[in-house]
Structure 1
Amino acid sequence: MKDQITSLISFYVDKEVFAFDTLKVRNILEYGKMTWVPNTKDYVLGVMNLHGNIFPVADLRVMMETSKVENTADTSIIVVSNDGKTDSLIGIVVDGVKEVFDIDGLEIKESVYHGNSGIVNSFLGTIHKNEEFVHIIDLDETVLEIEK
């Protein structure tokens, strides 16, 4: 898996930097209006419509049990599809998108981030870039958790 990742999109969650494989990212949206859905988990904020595709939106900050969850002008929704299909989109809310960059799979080291007791606790590894650690989230595991 590590040797297959060639490009990452990095983003902030509570001042920490995390990343996903860019091949699974379909769109990046400004945080906006969504329709609330009753009887969902506390991290599911609702659903959105993007080009006729209705998809759930989950707050990664809540899933990771961060200390604060407040929206700013930088708050974004990263729309992902872990199977490459547009009918299986999921929106993931983050504090802000940082950058997209290419990597060599050999740069990925065993994860130094073990997080807290949050729902997102599966990481593919960590890289050190520009004097900071970037923790690579296992998007497949995160999507499975959201879809439960």
Structure 2
Amino acid sequence: MFRPWKPIDAELRCIPALRVCQDGLAATITWEQWHKGICEFRMRIHFPTGVVAVLSVDESIHFAAPFIPTDAELTADDSTPTPWPAWISDVNYRRPHYSSYAEEIYSSVVSYYIHGDDVVVLLDINGVDPEITVEHFPASSPDSL
């Protein structure tokens, strides 16, 4: 099951603009929140290694794409408003999708599911926590996000 993921301690808006870049076993997601033509917030979520799989699909067909979590697999709690843009799986929830050999070589597969404005991304990562960098933040207030 997937639960809401809060990569930083700030309220996140739904449908962020996402860019996904993969380089070998590294992956980077750039997450931007725009309002009235102004980028109010940008963060970089970088996995320096550990990529098992990256799946990105058009937002308009994500509900029919294979391996994308269904609404029934997304479990929210009372502290998270829904819809929510980012979700994380329990450790090794999706590891069996990759064969019994994968279960031997991947020690800790964690899945990240992020729903953007035009793309939905599912990353399965083995044994690495993301490096998160806030690259742009308005001078106003983090609460305005």
Q: Same fold (TM over 0.5)?
A: no
Greater length-normalized contact order (CA 8 Å, ≥ 6 residues apart): 2
Larger-Rg structure? 2
TM-score for the superposition, normalised by structure 1: 0.30
TM-score (ref. length: structure 2): 0.30
